Amino acid sequence: MTNVAVADDGREQLAAFLRDRRGRLDPTACGFARGRRRTPGLRREEVAQLAGVSVTWYTWLEQGREEMGVPSADVLEGIAAALRMDRAERDHLFLLAHGRPPPRSPAGSGAAAIPPSVRQLVDGIAGCPVLVRTSDTWDVIAWNHAAQSVFGDYAALPPDDRNLLRRVFSGPTAR
């Protein structure tokens, strides 16, 4: 078997897996109107919207097109979240796309969720405080030394107490 045949088979398996997962989701549970649908589940454009990728890109990935190449880990994470995959399904998605399971983050630590390039950028900015927060809960997951000087030592706080809004509006200095 040639490398091309193996690559084609992997793309087809990934495409079939994505189509299957998309077909299993209830549109109303994902915030979309049920409406008239030719097939069960989400539409490709709905998955693309939830995953933060273009409709064309997601369509081509789901069609197993050769020109798609290998999706990045961030894109796969977005697709896994959009398709509401559990841990086993997410692992399978990464195995199909990358040939290896996704990186694991240590329990209770958000630091591993930060790409190394972002960590390097945060650490490289010396004269200005930098906080990296989650977009949905405002939990601080990374900071630089300047931020530590201004906002306090986040490392000394338990992860559950690292919420930026809670610290700003209900912390001791806000009272």
Average model confidence (pLDDT) across the chain: 82
Q: Which residues pair with 163 in a beta bridge?
A: 139
Domains in the chain (CATH in brackets) are 3-98 (1.10.260.40), 111-170 (no CATH)
Any bridge partners for residue 143, and if so which? 131
- Cβ atoms of 74 and 115 closer than 8 Å: yes
Model confidence at 111, in pLDDT bands (50, 70, 90)? very low
Q: How far apart are CA 46 and CA 64, in angstroms?
A: 18
Average pLDDT over residues 105-132: 71
More confident residue, 170 or 15: 15
Mean pLDDT along residues 150-161: 80
Give the pLDDT mean for 76-83: 90
Percent of the chain as helix, strand, coil, to the nearest 5 = 55, 5, 40
pTM for the predicted model, two decimal places: 0.57
What Å distances lie between residue 118 and 18, 33, 62, 100, CA to CA? 29, 37, 29, 23
How far is Cα 41 from Cα 121, in angstroms, rounded to an integer? 40
Top-confidence residue, 90 or 39: 90
Q: Comparing 42-46, 81-85, 159-163, which segment has the lowest mean pLDDT?
A: 159-163
